[in-house]
A and B are shown apart, each in its own frame.
With several copies, the nearest count.
Chain A
Amino acid sequence: MTAAATAGTGGAPAAATSSELLSVVASRELAARRTVFAGIGLPTLAASLAHLTVAPDIEIVYESGVCGAHPDRLPETIADAVLITGAEAVLSMAALFGSVLQGGHIDVGFLGAAQIDRLGNLNSSVIGDWERPAVRLPGSGGAMEVMANSREVFVVMRRHDPRSFVAELDFCTSPGPDRALAEGITPLGAGVTRVITELGILAREGVGEELRLIAVHPGVTAGQVRAATGWDLRVADDLAVVEPPTAAELRLLRDEVDPGRVYLR
């Protein structure tokens, strides 16, 4: 008897918030995945929900070095003390980035960004010019490494608008495989394969492919998504409508994954 099967009983839950929607949709995409490199926030919620539903064997690996965390409180950062106590392993960062990530052990890496382009290249460095930027963003951190070394990358973007979905990045921090191949270097993975937003789901199969709109949330039209995207977004012939979060999914998310609503606010 799985938790997902039982959580469906009882009265109808309240409608999903934006955070809940994104978490649920992302969790479904993790079916059958084993190792997920996740930051705190929606990626952790998605992976934790997937663990209770579509991917029981999933392991979340954190950039700080934690593998197999079993926190008794929801962590607030990727290096939260509650992630370490009771974890299965804590590695040095050299081992984590070298052997685990670059070594090819990550199935799905989660990334965010300020800008994304049609090939799934990401900017988290600057808005404007690097030398004297209008806005200095945090930079790569480990994002470039997650992109180069995960088998695929999922991007969760709360905001879907032409300032974030751009024809041309101000700066390419984390390049997808097309840009690496243009330099004659073959990366391990496929780059960004899923972008989950408040409007729908964009997908990309791999090298040479552009992101395409494959699904919209109920009530959203392809035209709306195209208008919110800074390039001429392709739309799948068989455009689907995202199935809304089920009562079971929402109950698990609210009662088991984030009962304190640390991230579901």
Chain B
Amino acid sequence: MPGGSVCAVDKTMTMKDAIAAFVHDGDTVALEGFTHLIPTAAGHEIIRQGRRDLTVVRMTADIVVDQMLAGGCVTTLVSSFVGNSSAGSLGELRRRIERADPEPLDFREYSHYGMICRYLAGAQRLPFYPLRSYAGSDLPSVNPGIRKVRSPYPGPDGRPEDIHVVPPVSPDVTIIHAQRADRAGNTQIWGLTGVQAEAVYAARKAVVVVEEIVGDEVVRSDPNRTVVPSHAVDAVVACPRGAHPSFAQGYYDRDNAFYRAWSHISKDPARLRDWMAEWVYGTRDHAEYTARLGEDHWAGLAVGEALSLPVNYGRRR
């Protein structure tokens, strides 16, 4: 049988090369990570490379989406929550939607589970996915993508039963952030795993950004921890602290002060422009961004140790 000694395909790339190779003008790009492991660094590199006319798919359109809007990358947004977490508003997004300033935003609005089901349908190559949301909501009246199907089975009361459905989403590329992967792309996540696996399987191509690339033996010591197997991954990018200002469980904590600050930064177009100039256009890459934040800043986000107890996978004797 093929053993561990055989070299698997090496999919590691720099962030610059991965974005250049897998994100093109006009693409549909999913960025996932629910509060945890938000692929911010990838979003910044998309802005630096000046991508245009993107359709961005993201359940929680938060800071990184506001930044991509400010970078002029996005014409269409598919989302179920457009806010700066519980910390306030997204200034650029609100200007785009409320006043078409500086230009209109094509917003396709769903609910959280509607977005999850769109990924599930995309991942499972289904024409639609049924869900018990939307009945009586005004959302279907502004989103023709939300439709209904009649069940071929009688309902609980014996009469015909209708249920809402959403269509699949099949991004050109999905980008996620994770704690670690091997060079072939076997990706391990712990803590909140969100909708990352479904978003990757729904996409034509997938880029995984990780805190660290680890040896095969690390991944293989715990195969249940692998949330995305290598066959679904096209590029692996090592980018420590690439999820800032969100957090990476066991690596660094959420930068809550930055979330609160963002509402003020993004509210003022001039201040937002300055911030983008300094932190995105004014940094070569994420390493420069993290260095500019400074080690004192990172020390404030450092976390202590709470190790999982090992389990025995067993070995035939």
Name A's B-contacting residues (CB within 8 A): 34-35, 39-41, 44, 48, 51-52, 56-57, 59, 61, 63-82, 84-95, 97-105, 121, 125, 130-145, 148-149, 171-188, 256-257
Contact = CB atoms under 8 A, between A and B. Distances in A.
Nearest to B164: A185
A30 B245 CA distance: 35
B113 interface: yes
Given A90-B224, A97-B116, A135-B98, A172 B4 contact: no
Nearest to A258: B1
B192 to A, nearest CB: 5
Contact of A99 (B3, B36, B135, B198): B198
Contacts of A103: 123-125, 201
A210 B228 CA distance: 38
B133 A40 contact: no
Contact of A68 (B82, B186, B195, B247): B186
Contacts of B254: 76-77, 80-81
B145 interface: no
A171 B143 CA distance: 13
Contacts of A145: 111-113, 132-133
B109 interface: yes
Nearest to A41: B86
A172 B191 contact: no
Contacts of B52: none
A88 B316 contact: no
A257 B2 CA distance: 7
Contact of A144 (B133, B142, B194, B223): B133
B186 to A, nearest CB: 5
B123 A88 contact: no
Contacts of B221: 86
B279 interface: no
Interface string B204-234: 0000000000001001110110101111100
A88 B197 CA distance: 15
Contact of A88 (B60, B162, B184): B184
A118 to B, nearest CB: 15
B290 interface: no
B263 interface: no
B220 A70 contact: yes
A90 to B, nearest CB: 5
10 contacts: A39-B86, A80-B254, A86-B313, A90-B224, A92-B193, A100-B231, A125-B138, A132-B100, A133-B98, A142-B80
Contacts of B119: 94
Contacts of A67: 226, 229-231
Contact of B315 (A40, A72, A99): A72
Given A102-B126, A141-B112, 16 more contacts: A34-B231, A35-B231, A63-B112, A65-B193, A67-B229, A68-B229, A81-B191, A92-B194, A93-B194, A99-B197, A130-B142, A132-B99, A135-B94, A140-B112, A141-B81, A185-B163
Nearest to A128: B98
A77 B88 CA distance: 13
Given A70-B2, A78-B35, A140-B81, A102 B132 contact: yes
Given A72-B315, A142-B113, A149-B132, A95 B197 contact: yes
A52 B316 contact: no
A185 B232 contact: no
A181 B135 CA distance: 8
Contacts of A89: 186, 223, 226, 228-230
A98 B194 contact: no
B134 interface: yes
Contacts of A52: 2
B164 to A, nearest CB: 8
B194 to A, nearest CB: 5
Contacts of A171: 138
A218 to B, nearest CB: 29
A139 B156 CA distance: 31
A27 to B, nearest CB: 12
A131 B195 CA distance: 28
A99 B131 CA distance: 11
A90 B113 contact: no
Interface in B6-58: 6, 8-9, 34-36
B35 to A, nearest CB: 3
Given A35-B231, A88-B184, A176 B142 contact: no
A68 to B, nearest CB: 7
B97 interface: yes
A172 B316 contact: no
A143 B109 CA distance: 14
